[in-house]
């Protein structure tokens, strides 16, 4: 379900306690806010409660006063909350290498309004995709990778991210392993996409490896990055059944499509504030 353009989003989490739903929904009622969507989840294993509410503001709505009142109401619950205004569009930096399918798909979805975001820069270790970015009138930064001085290249990448005020970084088939330092800097707000043939088929030509083993499923995984290579908290996954009639090139084509769809879905979830980090896992409401 996509977000209505005129609604506020309230997200909150806290330890599991009696009255958490009431604390949020009663406050919204008292402030004259009309709830249009509501989801909550209580994780019995981590004893943590998560809630996401979309609402329409009443006449005379004062954001600062609303925040102050909610903070007071949630204090006894240890509640941490975020309030996202209508028409929110995060600034996004996309990192790519040579493959263009995910970048092209994301920019198309931005252009037609399906993904309400502003891509403020495309960063790459190769020059190949600059024409695509330029066609969309997006600055393109080519930072070649020196194997003997990888930190220097990453400092340039981080400088662009900070200068552009990016709130989200998308690794749209960026085929380089990020350093532990950069992973720490981007922890929780950088999304990566990769095929779901890991860990069985690592390295070069994974789809050819999969074909040789006669796989019956191909898919993709979108996750937040962390210092565990391709093992960050998963946001979304996609999968499709294949059989003996699918050659390696067919698996590659299906993989491209699933990667695009899965990455777009994960980015949409993030933009709409549907994703909560819950230890090494996610809650998606």
Length of the chain: 285
Measured between alpha carbons, how far is 54 from 39 in angstroms, rounded to an integer? 9
Catalytic residue among 43, 230, 250, 257: 230
Active site annotation includes 230: yes
Q: 245-277 burial by CB neighbour count: b if 16+ within 10 A, else e?
A: ebeeeebbebbbebbbbbbbbbbbbbbbbbbbe
186 burial level (CB within 10 Å; 0-12, 13-18, 19+)? buried
- Annotated catalytic residues are 230
């Amino acid at each position: 379900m996509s977000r209505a353009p005129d609604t506020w989003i309230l997200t909150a989490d806290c330890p599991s306690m009696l009255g958490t739903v009431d604390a949020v929904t009663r406050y919204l009622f008292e402030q004259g806010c009309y709830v249009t969507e509501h989801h909550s989840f209580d994780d019995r294993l981590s004893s943590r409660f998560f809630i996401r509410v979309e609402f329409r503001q009443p006449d005379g709505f004062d954001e600062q006063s609303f925040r102050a009142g909610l903070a007071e109401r949630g204090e006894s619950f240890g509640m941490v909350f975020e309030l996202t205004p209508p028409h929110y569009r995060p600034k996004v930096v996309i990192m790519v290498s040579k493959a263009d399918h995910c970048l092209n798909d994301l920019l198309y979805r931005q252009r037609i309004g399906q993904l309400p975001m502003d891509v403020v820069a495309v960063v790459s270790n190769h020059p190949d995709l600059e024409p695509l970015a330029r066609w969309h009138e997006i600055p393109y930064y080519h930072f070649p990778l020196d194997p003997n001085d990888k930190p220097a290249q990453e400092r340039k990448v981080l400088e662009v991210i900070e200068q552009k005020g990016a709130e989200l970084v998308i690794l749209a088939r960026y085929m380089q392993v990020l350093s532990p330092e950069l992973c720490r800097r981007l922890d929780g707000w950088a999304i990566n996409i990769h095929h779901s043939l890991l860990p069985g088929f690592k390295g070069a030509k994974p789809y050819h490896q999969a074909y040789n083993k006669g796989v019956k499923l191909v898919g993709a995984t979108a996750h937040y990055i962390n210092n565990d290579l391709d093992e960050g908290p998963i946001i979304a996954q996609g999968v499709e059944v294949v059989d003996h009639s699918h050659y390696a090139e067919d698996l590659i084509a299906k993989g491209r499509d699933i990667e695009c769809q899965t990455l777009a879905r994960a980015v949409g979830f993030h933009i709409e504030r549907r994703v909560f980090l819950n230890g090494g896992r996610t809650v998606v409401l």
